[in-house]
Amino acid sequence: MGRDFAYVILGGGVAAGYAALEFAKKGVSHGQLCIISDEPVAPYERPALSKGFLLPEAPARLPGFHTCVGANEERLTPNWYTEHGIELILGTRVISANTKLKTLLTATGETITYKFLIIATGARAVKLEEIGINGSNAENVCYLRDLADATKLVNMMRMCTGGNAIVIGGGYIGMECAASLVMNKINVSMVFPGSYCMGRLFTPKIASYYEEFYKSKGVSFIKGTSLSSFVFNSEGKVMGANLKDGRYLHADMVVVGIGARPNTNLFEGQLAFENGGIKVNNRFQSSNTSVYAVGDIASFPIKLFNDTRRVEHVDAARKTAKHAVHAIMEPKTISDFDYLPFFYSRAFSLSWQFYGDNVGEVVHFGDFSGTKFGAYWVNNGRLVGCFLEGGGNEDYVAIAKVVRLKPVVLDLGELERKGVDFVVAM
């Protein structure tokens, strides 16, 4: 049993959706392209799962957030794929790949052959068992990576109104979920080992603002410790958690956000790897010229910082996918990918964006007791990164433009005094 396609996208997430749109724009013929995904639905905007999807009132639901609405492009419903002759092979896991023979084997026993393969398998949530703790399968322990996880989380929140949740992890999944739990009238304790939240991006001063804001909404922060074990009832539900510092927390539900790992195992030993991802050139071509890799799993050159990185953010998934399709379909007109790292988050009434790199000296600016503030990062005398909470569209456009230029900064005090006006005026 088998099928043959000119182009196969493996994975049906954000990058797959944006790649499909680009293929359609470039005029792919009916029957030439398929998307294979183990999810049962057409590609959707994954960030919606920790935001609109969890709202207690008028929550976002499919088909409302299929790609590519997140970038103000067309919304690709299942019908769109049919109309464009793009085959969606859903609910189907690929269990092995052979890049020499150009074949993929699915869990249903089908062999799919390609001329060009785009790997877009994204990442998976790290499980508690991977850090030596049992309990992931308990009915009131939730993760958040895909629609099934988000649906379980919503059902659990409905059952736990007025109860207590423990959020394990202080990254963006933990922060966004904590906000949603509060909005769903659940008491939240956040537990994480660091001394402040969002430690990979925030400075202690920025983190302190968000922690105070969250505390004002009733969230408790238990920092500098981590989960030691769960206590289960006779039905296997988690009733509470023992922490490494000896504390015990009662829980009606638990949300775990302890990181993600790229889904690259199918290609280990077949393609070159770097930074834990599939190494690609500035056209997203891997060490095998018929195989491209995009989104969370791609380790690609970042011209601006003269290095190679894996970027687990939605903007990178969208843009890398588009670029790879352009490189495959119109190789003569493609220019080198020139990416400015960009990441955002929204929770409660808060909303921030970050552009560039958070290395070097930090200069905070703005009103940390108000609603608009941020930080610049200056490395080797050049402005390389900027974080802004509460900005307007004009501010963010200016930040993106200026950070890309990496201007020389002679006076750090000027950055502090002028704040976001420093970039708006440039």
Rounded to 10 degrees, the C-alpha dihedral 95/97/103/106 comes to 10
Give the whole-angstrom CA distance, residue 119 versus residue 336.
20
Residues 52-91 vs ligand FDA: string with x where CB under 6 A?
----------------------------------------
Which residues inside 262-281 make contact with ligand FDA, applying CB under 6 A?
263
Q: Rounded to the nearest whole angstrom, what is the least distance from the CB of residue 177 to ligand FDA in the complex?
A: 8
Looking at the Cβ atoms of 6 and 147, the one nearer to ligand FDA is: 147
22, 325 contact by CB (below 8 A): yes
Shortest-Cβ-distance residue relative to ligand FDA: 13
Pair 202, 226: CB distance under 8 Å: no
- State the nearest-atom distance from the C-beta of 412 to ligand FDA, in Å: 28
User: Pseudo-torsion of CA 327, 330, 332, 338, nearest 10°?
Assistant: -40
Give Cα separations from 132 to 54, 162, 396 (angstroms). 29, 30, 42
The nearest distance, CB 411 to ligand FDA, in angstroms, is 32
- Nearby residues of 339 by Cβ (< 8 Å), 6 or more positions away: 300, 302, 303, 304, 311, 316, 319, 320
Q: Which of 24, 68, 120, 256 binds ligand FDA (CB under 6 A)?
A: 120
Q: Which is nearer to ligand FDA, 94 or 384 (CB)?
A: 94
List the strands of the sheet with 141-142, edge to edge: 141-142, 253-256, 164-168, 187-192, 220-223
Supply the DSSP symbol for 127.
Answer: P
Residue selected from 66, 102, 145, 406 as contacting ligand FDA according to rule CB under 6 A: 145
Peptide bond into 142 cis (omega under 30): no
Q: Which amino acid is at 102?
A: K
CA distances from 308 to 147, 153, 246, 282 (A): 31, 35, 42, 10
* Size of the residue set binding ligand FDA (CB under 6 A): 35
Binding segment for ligand FDA among 9-17, 154-162, 208-216, 224-232 (CB under 6 A)? 9-17
Residue selected from 7, 8, 9, 15 as contacting ligand FDA according to rule CB under 6 A = 15
CA atoms within 13 A on the CB side of 129: 6
Q: Is 33 in the site for ligand FDA (CB under 6 A)?
A: no
Q: How far is the CB of 316 from ligand FDA (least distance, A)?
A: 7
Residues in contact with ligand FDA, shown as a per-residue x/- string from 293 to 322 under the rule CB under 6 A: --xx---------------xxxx-x-----
**Closer by beta carbon to ligand FDA, 340 or else 409:** 340
In terms of CB distance, is 33 or 409 closer to ligand FDA? 33
308 contact partners, CB below 8 Å, separation of at least 6: 274, 275, 279, 299, 300, 301, 302
20, 36, 160, 175: residue in contact with ligand FDA (rule CB under 6 A)? 36
Please count the other Cβ atoms lying within 10 Å of the Cβ belonging to residue 180: 26
Closest C-alpha among 324, 300, 308, 297 to residue 11: 297
By CB under 6 A, residue 247 contacts ligand FDA: no
Hey, which residues between 161 and 200 contact ligand FDA (CB under 6 A)?
173
Choice between 280 and 409, CB closer to ligand FDA: 280
Q: Does residue 94 touch ligand FDA according to CB under 6 A?
A: yes
Among 9, 11, 286, 387, binds ligand FDA (CB under 6 A): 11
> What is the closest distance, in whole angstroms, from the C-beta atom of residue 145 to ligand FDA in the complex?
5
The torsion defined by the Cα of 226, 310, 344 and 214, in degrees rounded to 10, comes to 0
158 three-class SS? helix
Q: Which of 22, 38, 252, 357 contacts ligand FDA by CB under 6 A?
A: 38
Of 321-350, binders to ligand FDA (CB under 6 A) are 343-345
Whole-angstrom Cα distance, residue 342 to residue 306? 16
Closer residue to ligand FDA in complex, CB, 93/200: 93
Footprint of ligand FDA (CB under 6 A): 11-16, 36-39, 46-47, 49-50, 93-94, 120-123, 144-146, 173, 263, 295-296, 312-315, 317, 343-345
